[in-house]
């Protein structure tokens, strides 16, 4: 573990194998609140709020937003508690459960969260940026391209601009991200208030509340070249799965909670900030969607189009300022995703001596080609749903296992051996804790079997809840038994060494 001295402690960027010292933990509870309010107030929240409304109307959407989302954020916030306790990043917290080498496997999955979310967010924000170019330079926006001209051509400059800006702030480090999120928070509060006012002043809330879809929204999924597939109906269990995936893939909670001044700041700051942001912006997305649906003739609405935040902003008369806020909200969020992905790389390539700054730059560059991939997708709405589902298969067993390991198997006692290169409490068998690895892979497989093998069953019971129960039971008994045997072996080895 690298040791920083003097002023380097304050300005340093710490890798996954570095413990943040007490004097460098400068984020207050309000800093954490602002960071997570800005991070969670992104265009994708409007998009998802629209999906919930398309399935159940405002009553069902509000139940998901205010009740279910709150409950699913509690386990997520506990990751921040552990990170603040040990001064360890999210990816570092995988090491005691999976082993110093075994943690490299979930770290690869971890990169899917960071890079995947960054690419999705860039594409959604690029649509907003196209409206900025339209208002300032007269270029066609994303929804009004010239006949015969592909939308892709006009989104490329927007994508490249966003990638440059988010890469700049991510490379500047965790303190720059902290200040960026404070600015974004103020602007987002103004945008959310204005959006709420615009919707509610022109529509009767009782009318919006009473609206119900003729039938729940559905998406048809076609797998592979054979064209076989099935239809997803957005039932409550399926929306529960997607909401857990949406909330639990905020993977970088630990990456900034490790800089918190206290465990309370690292836990309740993110919980309050992210919860309030999603209450507001899920609700704004839901209200804006209903505002269109309630006045539209049945069957005349392209739900995929009106779910897009920029489309809603345009139809409601928002100006350049609104598009700029949507743009910078994405940049502030993606700076955190890029930062987290760089930390994931440091846990995979633990002996790579390059600086954290260079890894942040590399991480920012990796996002660029990934952000261009949605240009080739004709049904981005379903791609977004599938993307959340794919990540859900990873995050549900991963973070469940991590919490079980810390709170139940190891009884909230993690030693500083989690920052070691090799040896120590978390070396296990050649650096791998196989009960954790097998449980993670089997939990992910179980999620996918239910989700895609039995879609009708999944629409009834969800895929996340059985996976959580499976991982909790299997790893609690298997992992605890293996840990006790490992401790006995360590004690015996130390006794032999002490007695010669």
User: Looking at residue 313, which CATH number applies to its domain?
Assistant: 1.10.4160.10
Does residue 319 belong to any structural domain of this protein?
yes
Contacts of 253 (CB under 8 A, 6+ apart): 36, 76, 77, 79, 80, 83, 90, 270
Question: How far from 160 is each of 134, 153, 154, 362, CA to CA, in Å?
Answer: 16, 12, 11, 15
- How many domains does the chain fold into? 1
Query: What is the spatial distance between Cα 377 and Cα 386, in angstroms, rounded to a whole number?
Result: 12
Does residue 3 belong to any structural domain of this protein?
no
Confidence band (pLDDT; 50, 70, 90) for 3? very low
Task: Tell me the average pLDDT across 422-451.
Answer: 94
Angle at 351 between CA 349 and CA 357, to 5 degrees: 70
Does residue 1 belong to any structural domain of this protein?
no
Q: Give the structural domain span for 139.
A: 8-499
Q: What is the pLDDT of residues 15-25, one digit of tens each?
A: 988 999 988 89
Q: What is the pLDDT of residues 185-233, one digit of tens each?
A: 777 777 667 766 766 776 778 888 888 887 766 655 554 433 445 666 7
Contacts of 156 (CB under 8 A, 6+ apart): 372, 375
Q: Check residue 371 and give its pLDDT.
A: 87
Per-residue pLDDT for 393 more than 60? yes
User: Which among 441, 99, 176, 486 is positioned nearest to 331, based on CA atoms?
Assistant: 176
Could you please report the per-residue DSSP string of 277-300? HHHHHHHHHHHHHHHHHTTSPTT-
Does residue 2 belong to any structural domain of this protein?
no
Confidence band (pLDDT; 50, 70, 90) for 474? very high
Q: Check residue 11 and give its pLDDT.
A: 43
Q: Is 349 left (phi over 0), alpha (psi -120 to 50) or beta?
A: beta
Q: Check residue 98 and give its pLDDT.
A: 97
Confidence band (pLDDT; 50, 70, 90) for 380? low
């Amino acid at each position: 573990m690298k040791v920083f001295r003097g002023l380097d402690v304050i300005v340093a960027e710490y890798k996954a194998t570095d413990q943040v010292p007490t004097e460098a933990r400068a984020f207050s509870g309000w800093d954490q609140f602002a960071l997570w309010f800005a991070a969670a107030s992104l265009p994708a929240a409007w998009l998802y709020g629209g999906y919930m409304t398309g399935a159940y109307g405002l009553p069902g959407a509000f139940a998901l937003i205010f009740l279910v989302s709150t409950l699913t954020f509690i386990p997520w916030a506990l990751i921040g508690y552990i990170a603040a306790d040990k001064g360890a990043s999210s990816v570092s917290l995988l090491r005691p459960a999976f082993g110093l080498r075994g943690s490299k496997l979930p770290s690869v999955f971890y990169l899917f969260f960071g890079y995947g979310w960054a690419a999705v967010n860039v594409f959604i924000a690029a649509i907003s940026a196209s409206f900025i170019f339209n208002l300032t330079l007269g270029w066609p926006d994303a929804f009004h391209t010239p006949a015969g001209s592909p939308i892709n051509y006009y989104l490329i400059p927007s994508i490249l601009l966003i990638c440059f800006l988010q890469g700049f702030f991510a490379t500047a480090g965790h303190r720059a991200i902290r200040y960026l999120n404070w600015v974004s928070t103020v602007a987002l509060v103004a945008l959310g208030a204005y959006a709420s006012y615009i919707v509610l002043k022109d529509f009767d809330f009782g009318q919006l509340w009473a609206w119900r879809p003729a039938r729940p929204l559905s998406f048809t999924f076609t797998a592979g070249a054979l064209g076989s597939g099935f239809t997803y109906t957005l039932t409550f269990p399926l929306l529960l799965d997607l909401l857990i995936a949406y909330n639990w893939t905020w993977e970088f909670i630990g990456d900034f909670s490790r800089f918190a001044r206290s465990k309370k700041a690292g836990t309740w700051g993110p919980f309050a900030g992210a919860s309030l942001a999603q209450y507001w912006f899920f609700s704004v997305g839901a209200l804006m969607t209903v505002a269109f649906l309630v006045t539209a003739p049945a069957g005349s609405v392209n739900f995929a189009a009106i779910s897009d935040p920029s489309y809603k902003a345009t139809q409601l008369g928002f100006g350049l300022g609104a598009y700029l806020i949507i743009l910078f909200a994405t940049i502030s969020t993606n700076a955190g995703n890029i930062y987290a992905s760089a930390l994931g790389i440091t846990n995979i390539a633990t002996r790579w001596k390059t600086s954290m700054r260079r890894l942040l730059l590399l991480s920012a560059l990796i996002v660029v080609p990934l952000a261009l991939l949605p240009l080739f997708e004709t049904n981005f709405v379903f791609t977004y749903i599938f993307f959340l589902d794919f990540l859900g298969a990873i995050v549900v067993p991963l973070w469940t296992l991590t919490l079980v390991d810390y709170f139940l198997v190891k009884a909230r006692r993690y030693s500083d051996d989690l920052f070691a290169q090799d040896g120590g409490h978390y070396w296990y068998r050649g650096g791998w804790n196989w009960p954790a690895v097998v449980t993670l892979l089997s939990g992910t497989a179980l999620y996918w079997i239910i989700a895609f093998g039995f879609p009708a069953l999944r629409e009834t019971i969800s895929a996340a809840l059985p996976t959580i129960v499976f991982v909790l039971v299997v790893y609690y008994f298997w992992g605890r038994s293996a840990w006790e045997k490992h401790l006995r072996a360590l004690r015996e080895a130390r006794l032999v060494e002490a007695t010669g």
